[in-house]
Amino acid sequence: MKRIAVLGATGALLAGTIAAAPVATAGDRTAGGAAQGVSAEARGVGVAAARAAKAGVHWTDCPTAWGLKSPIQCGYVTVPIDYARPDGPSIRLAVDRVRSTGTPARRQGSLLYNPGGPGGSGMKFPTRVTSKNPLWTKMAQAYDFVGFDPRGVGHSAPISCEDPRAFVKAPKADPVPGDAADKRAQRKLAKEYADGCAQRSGALLRYMTTPDTARDMDVIRAALGEKKLNYLGVSYGTYLGAVYATLFPTHVRRLLVDSVVNPDQKDIWYQNNLNQDVAFEGRWKDFESWVARYDSVYHLGGTRAKVQQQWLGLRATAKRRPIGGVVGPAELIAFFQNAPYFDQSWPIIADAWSKYAAGDAKPLIKAAGPDYSNAATAENSNAVYTAVECNDAHWPTSWERWDRDNTALNARYPFMTWDNAWMNLPCATWTQPQHTPVDVRSHQGLPNVLIVQSTRDAATPYAGAVELHRRLRGSELITERAAGSHGVTGLVNPCVNDRVTAYFVDGRLDGHDVVCGPHAAPVPNGK
């Protein structure tokens, strides 16, 4: 699935014992010695978890450079690079926490969080407590909020595929190819990127997979001293949570997934990215309609069609001569794609666009131009995104198929199609082993899972939530209708918020699926 930078930067196991072996799946690599259908990885994660339970986490003040102030604490959990070899090379995963704010009697354990990606860091999660965000007050009384950098991310043995300054350098080529030569150039860049991953990321690269990260989560669970996991995952974090639930059903206590990746094996990951292109076009039109509604503020056109003409004109201008020398079509798309992701971004984007149309290009250049101060983080996130998606599944290697599929989609859904294609094309020439995705579904011992999804989500279309709901027996689905922001649980919508709190704090579900109205639509800044 597409990974972007958010605007503004949103089974018991006792020490000394080995947990029951998790369910073996088709996604597990096997090794000599695995017997009775239990994979070497399943054995290895039990060994690693037992060691982590004994070691615990040595919590200290976070390093100053991490920007996480007390009372947030930081530490590390050691995991094997290859779970089939638990005594082999290992890495340390960075974790942080803020302790529950309630009485000891109200504490229910730790709540682990993943924000998506692949490649997103969860280390900001405890700040939802320290910032006193009212949406999380009751949950903070019941849980320690725990974040982590997944393997390869941030402070957890970060991988790299390209020099960070080269990665953010602008302007880049227009993603929409004008001819065969443009396509050849993009194909060359994609292969060079895949080769760069192999050259720069070392032994960890082949073990950058969703199942391995799910195994890491079970080791973190053990290191936290928890018998069972409480988990909140958003976007790609929903797929990570679904894989965890499949591999470790008896280790789950409460698990909520928000804005859901379609877990069908045939959709991971090539088809999911094609499906995104269709959904992005629909949500882009929603944004244009909103801008037209506030034409008296933004002066970009009083109908969606007129706003689209403004967009095409802006794009053509940037193609002829990059704005400020650094903002071409690629940079415009990188900025404007925030609109289909988050309607909270609509006033910010429309304001920068409107000011440009009125003759002031500075806000647009600042928002869409290269950010060298964040280059290392951006490059690392993209490297992890690429590695995990390329490793998780078998991708088409035929350029003819990529060309045919994306040319056809672009004819009707041009906003994101080719940009998305080039981002994923390194997987066509990937040098590492590619695996069969985990067959996500319920197994004995899995408790009821809560699923939250908006109907017009662009990054993870609604069909994914329906499919996961079908696969996880006893799950309940909360649908936010007529809305499309990606990541529903962080928005103010009492119909959703109250049910999320009830699930985590009281273990209470409705006993049936629920449809909620949309959260409040954005309004122009200052209105």
> Which residues carry out catalysis?
235, 457, 486
Closest to 94 (Cα-Cα) out of 2, 216, 240:
216
Closest to 300 (Cα-Cα) out of 339, 349, 368, 335:
349
Distances (CA, A) of 342 to 13, 234, 257, 346, 519: 40, 13, 18, 7, 12
Eight-class DSSP state of 342: -
Rounded CA-CA distance 447/327 in Å is: 49
Q: What SS3 string covers 430-445? A: CCCCCCCCCCCCCCCC
- Residue 90 pairs with which residues in a beta bridge? 80
Segment holding 453, helix H or strand E: strand 450-454
Tokens 């903002």, residue located: 327
Q: Which two tokens stand for residue 264?
A: 């069908």
Q: Residue 444 class from Cβ within 10 Å (0-12 exposed, 13-18 middle, 19+ buried)?
A: exposed
Query: What backbone phi and psi angles, to 5 degrees, belong to 125?
Result: -55, -45
Report the helix count and the strand count for the chain, using DSSP H and E: 19, 10
Nearest 10 degrees: CA dihedral of 79, 104, 141, 59?
Answer: -30
- Residue 477 pairs with which residues in a beta bridge? 451
Nearest 10 degrees: CA dihedral of 279, 285, 291, 294?
Answer: -110
Distances (CA, A) of 358 to 317, 329, 352: 15, 19, 10
Rounded CA-CA distance 373/114 in Å is: 24
Q: Residue 493 class from Cβ within 10 Å (0-12 exposed, 13-18 middle, 19+ buried)?
A: buried
419 backbone φψ class: left, alpha, beta (φ>0; ψ -120 to 50): alpha
Distances (CA, A) of 459 to 117, 274, 275, 286, 489: 11, 11, 9, 14, 16
First and final C-alpha spacing in the chain: 34
> Which amino acid, 215?
R
Q: Which two tokens stand for residue 92?
A: 């340390």
Q: Which two tokens stand for residue 284?
A: 């882009």
Closest to 130 (Cα-Cα) out of 95, 93, 96:
96
> Which amino acid, 277?
D
